[in-house]
Structure 1
Amino acid sequence: MRKIVVMMFVFGMLFACKDNSKGHEESKIETTVEAVVDSIVVQEETPVEKKISVRALKDSLTSKGFQTFEYVDAKTKDTVLMQQYFIAFLKKGAVRNQNEEEAALLQEKHLKHLGKMYELGYADISGPFGDDGDIRGITIYNVPTIEIADSLANSDPMVKAGRLEIEVHPWWAAKGFQLR
């Protein structure tokens, strides 16, 4: 998938360039294309992370204070490790009288906060809901306790301003499974 996106980008660059001075511009484009292709090759050649055992992963999580349990999948006979996460529902807050400029600034700070939570490894996924209901979005926190999740969620600038309120619940998911 990454290759397709990069190739589309490269072709887009090629078609977007003007045909003013062919010699020098074509050389620049060829150099750029070569650099992108070289980076693709380097990315493909990087070693894949070594998969650790379920037991080692469970021991590591338990030592950090996470709640886990495991079960054997009846169909595959694989051991599946479940971990407790915390899902924070971001709900409409009582203070929604900010003007357009203030609301836009809060939104910018809110997104920066969520990005930081993701970068630091505290949140695994965040996103808004597609309707205009009272629950505006969710964040799934990957932390050992509900108190930590609640503290992180309440440090969001939107929550501090009262535009959003937080409701946190424990939530279980299998380690290593992905959305599809």
Structure 2
Amino acid sequence: MKNNLLILSLLCFILSCKESDKTTVDSTKVLDTEVIEVAKDLEQEKEITTAELKKKLTGKGYQIFDYVDEKTKDTILMQQYFIAFLKRGVVRNQNEEEANRLQTEHLAHLGKMYELGYADISGPFGDDGDIRGITIYNVPTLEMADSLANADPMVKAGRLEIEIHPWWAAKGFPLR
């Protein structure tokens, strides 16, 4: 199910790319190909072993480690992700029309990141604090996460600023 969702998301993104988005797409073309390859591999192998997954992830440059869960005796694979905090930026003087346009472009950018497989989850915080929201990037390096996060139209306009930190999570564990 998760693999089908990833493939569907990738296809939606590819079909929805606009000419104006060429800069972001061109700067991530190599990663696009890698994401598509991983998605195809996962679709072909419904039951991929931990050893195979480790080999694929490390081959793509991801940082990982594993441990054995004492209770279940299962091997848990941990992967490094990058969590981007979207913070209130210093440029907040856009008129309502411009702010609405930026918000639309911001949501499209985050949707594209999810569809390409670069981001696993994004969302705003429920208060009106300086940290406005987060995005968790599923890419091999901090530099890639930083580049993708800074391609956000809200960041480019100065309405949001990015702060990124490495973050570890168990591979394949869902939110609950």
TM over 0.5: yes
Pairwise CA RMSD of aligned residues?
A: 1.3
| Count of matched residue pairs | 134
- Whichever residue aligns with residue 97 of structure 1, its letter is N
Answering whether residue 65 of structure 2 is matched by residue 69 of structure 1, we say yes
- Whichever residue aligns with residue 155 of structure 1, its letter is A
Q: Secondary structure at the match of 1:86?
A: strand
1:1-180 mapped onto 2 (5 Å cutoff): 50-180=46-176
2: CA distance, partners of 1:57 / 1:165: 34
Higher RCO (CA-CA < 8 Å; seq separation 6+):
2
- Whichever residue aligns with residue 143 of structure 1, its letter is V
1:132-154 CA-to-partner distances (Å, cap 9, x unmatched) read: 00000000000000000000000
Aligned-residue offset at 1:49: 6.3
Q: Which residue of 2 aligns with 1:29?
A: none
Aligned-residue offset at 1:90: 0.1
- Whichever residue aligns with residue 110 of structure 2, its letter is L
1: CA distance, partners of 2:134 / 2:125: 8
Q: Secondary structure at the match of 1:169?
A: strand
Q: Secondary structure at the match of 1:126?
A: strand
| Larger Rg belongs to | 1
Identity rate of aligned residues, in percent? Answer: 80
Q: Which residue of 2 aligns with 1:37?
A: none
Q: TM-score, normalised by structure 2?
A: 0.74
Aligned-residue offset at 1:48: 10
1: CA distance, partners of 2:111 / 2:151: 13
Q: TM-score, normalised by structure 1?
A: 0.73
Q: Secondary structure at the match of 2:100?
A: helix
1: CA distance, partners of 2:99 / 2:69: 47
Unaligned runs of 5+ in 2: 1-42
Q: Which residue of 2 aligns with 1:33?
A: none
Unaligned runs of 5+ in 1: 1-46
